[in-house]
Amino acid sequence: MDRRTDAVRSGAARAALAVVVVSVLVWLVGFALTDGLAQDLVVATSGVVPTVAIAVTLHRRAIAQPRPWFLILAGMLVLDVYNGGWVAEVHLAGMVPPSTPVTALGLPLGYVLLLLGAILLLRQAARQDAGTILDHAIIALSVAFLAWVLLIAPALDPSVATGSRIRTMVVVVLVGGLSGAMLRAAALLPERRGSTVYLLVAVAGTVTGTLARDVTASDGAPDGASWVGMLWIVAYGTLSGAVLHPSAGQVVHERADEPRLTTRRVWMLGTALAIGPGVLVLHALVGSAADPVFIAAVNLALVPLVVLRIGRLAHLHADAERHLERTADLDALTGLPNRRALTRHLEALLARVADGTAPGAVVVFADLDDFKVVNDTLGHRVGDELLLAVSHRLVSSVRTSERRGGPGDLVARFAGDEFVVVVEGDAAVAEPATRRLRAALEEVVVVDEHVLEPRASIGVTTVPAGTPTTVDAVLRAADARMYERKRERRAVPVPDVVDQTMS
């Protein structure tokens, strides 16, 4: 079944690639064979292909995460209208775009919708590792910013309007950051890698086309050099592959792969924040003019991302500390409180017993009989399963404030095959507590084909209210009584699983 499914997916992936290659080649050939109005119509109609592909795929409900694709579909519809308006303004009305609301607002609105759709697609990857998604977005955004300041802005024609400059800068920086996040998402989500790579190529083609158009634009060629249209055709064609690739319909399995707070990450975030001021200093040193408004705008876009990343790292660091604190108090095998947690709990209880605010304390020390024989003859795995079964039964036998009323009891793994139960109460609670422990260990434990009897020797000591004592003294007393009972068992066979020695 898996082999057949893989074959179907492989065939669908090849079909998606064929659609991309054929559509791109057909439109590129049409582009090369035409000029003027016909050539611009070729570019404009190439955007209809991904629009139809997305609409059909959504209609067939073949996408695992449809909501982002609805936004991308809306963005493509807006861009198709924008492309048509651009052609109409240039070739029919003789205007220089953007001259109407369609061409003035169509491109940024379409890009915003595409950007929102892509961000929603990244949300699944962010659940796996939001930290490195932000890292890659910040790095790519910083690189795009440097490219704008050092390479792109100086190459723009001085006659380019301020509005067009701002639009180009926003597209370059934001889409550049998105490309970095998508690159990381492709690595994080192997189930969606094919679709994500197609989408990444489409984004790269879009931003490259926007850059090339604005850099080569002039009064005589408002839409840039003639070859720029080929970049749009490639971008639109690969967007079709993103929605048609079978990985777009794959369900992503949740994973937890959180990054750690490292010195390298902190330096990276600090460097990202320093890029803006550094560019200003560099321009001042070389004596060239810099646009402080543009630099400040991009740096302000970086600040919330860096702050968000630092906050995320701080949150993860705090979670790690809390996890370490919890695990430091728990036994690795059974999950019970360990000796450290037992000591702290017993110290607090004995303090309350000494000052009379607690009615007393009962400490039960239980040691499994012949546990070494189980380990030596049946293996440590069987021994571990026996310890787990015993720990579960002991926990189920003690009082909790919800089940029995009154204070809860503590069951701890002291060491090896030794367990300690701490009960808050006077001497009257010792007998029922021991009886419940005895009942918990009466039934055999079955591990694979082995039937084991969890026999144990038990020692009990009580501390009346108003009696000052120490944790070591109480544990030594309970341990001594337990060993007395163990010696009695070795001398005279006793049928009961557990017994007690009261003080």
In the chain, where the domains are located: 2-257, 259-328, 339-491
Separation of CA 72 from chain center: 24
pLDDT digits (tens, 9 = 90+) for 135-185: 778 888 777 777 777 777 777 766 666 666 776 777 777 777 777 777 777
Q: How confident is the model at residue 325 (pLDDT cuts 50, 70, 90)?
A: confident
Least confident segment among 2-6, 29-33, 83-87, 318-322: 2-6
**H or E segment and range at residue 31:** helix 2-32
Mean pLDDT, residues 45-68 taken together: 87
Mean pLDDT, residues 279-288 taken together: 68
Is the pLDDT assigned to residue 246 strictly greater than 80? yes
| Residue 291: per-residue pLDDT | 63
* pTM for the full predicted model: 0.58
Best mean pLDDT range from 56-70, 126-140, 461-475: 461-475
Q: How confident is the model at residue 498 (pLDDT cuts 50, 70, 90)?
A: very low
Least confident segment among 199-213, 247-261, 279-293: 247-261
Mean pLDDT, residues 34-46 taken together: 89
Mean pLDDT, residues 407-411 taken together: 78
CATH code of 339-491, in short, is 3.30.70.270
Helix/strand/coil percentages in the chain, nearest 5: 70, 10, 25
| Residue 287: per-residue pLDDT | 61
Average pLDDT score, the chain: 79
Other CB atoms closer than 10 Å to residue 211's CB: what's the count? Answer: 23
| Residue 349: per-residue pLDDT | 92
Q: How confident is the model at residue 2 (pLDDT cuts 50, 70, 90)?
A: low
Burial readout 233-247 (b: 16 or more C-beta within 10 A, e: otherwise): bbbbbbbbbbbbbbb
Mean pLDDT, residues 416-439 taken together: 88
% pLDDT > 70, the chain: 82
CA distance 344 to 477: 18
| Residue 259: per-residue pLDDT | 52
**H or E segment and range at residue 105:** helix 101-147
| Residue 157: per-residue pLDDT | 67
pLDDT, greater one: 180 or 425: 425
Least confident segment among 184-193, 234-243, 346-355, 456-465: 184-193
Q: Is 372 helix (H, G, I), strand (E, B) or coil?
A: helix
Q: How confident is the model at residue 277 (pLDDT cuts 50, 70, 90)?
A: confident
CA distance 38 to 58: 31
Query: What tokens does 48 get?
Result: 């209809």
Judge whether 226 and 39 are in contact, CB under 8 Å: yes
| Residue 412: per-residue pLDDT | 92
Is the pLDDT assigned to residue 488 strictly greater than 70? yes
Least confident segment among 25-34, 164-173, 240-249, 362-371: 164-173
* SS3 labels along 222-254: CCCCCCHHHHHHHHHHHHHHHHHCHHHHCCCCC
Q: How confident is the model at residue 78 (pLDDT cuts 50, 70, 90)?
A: very high
| Residue 297: per-residue pLDDT | 67
| Residue 502: per-residue pLDDT | 33
> What residues does 450 pair with on adjacent strands?
447
| Residue 496: per-residue pLDDT | 37
CA distance 106 to 82: 5
Q: How confident is the model at residue 304 (pLDDT cuts 50, 70, 90)?
A: confident
| Residue 245: per-residue pLDDT | 86
| Residue 1: per-residue pLDDT | 44
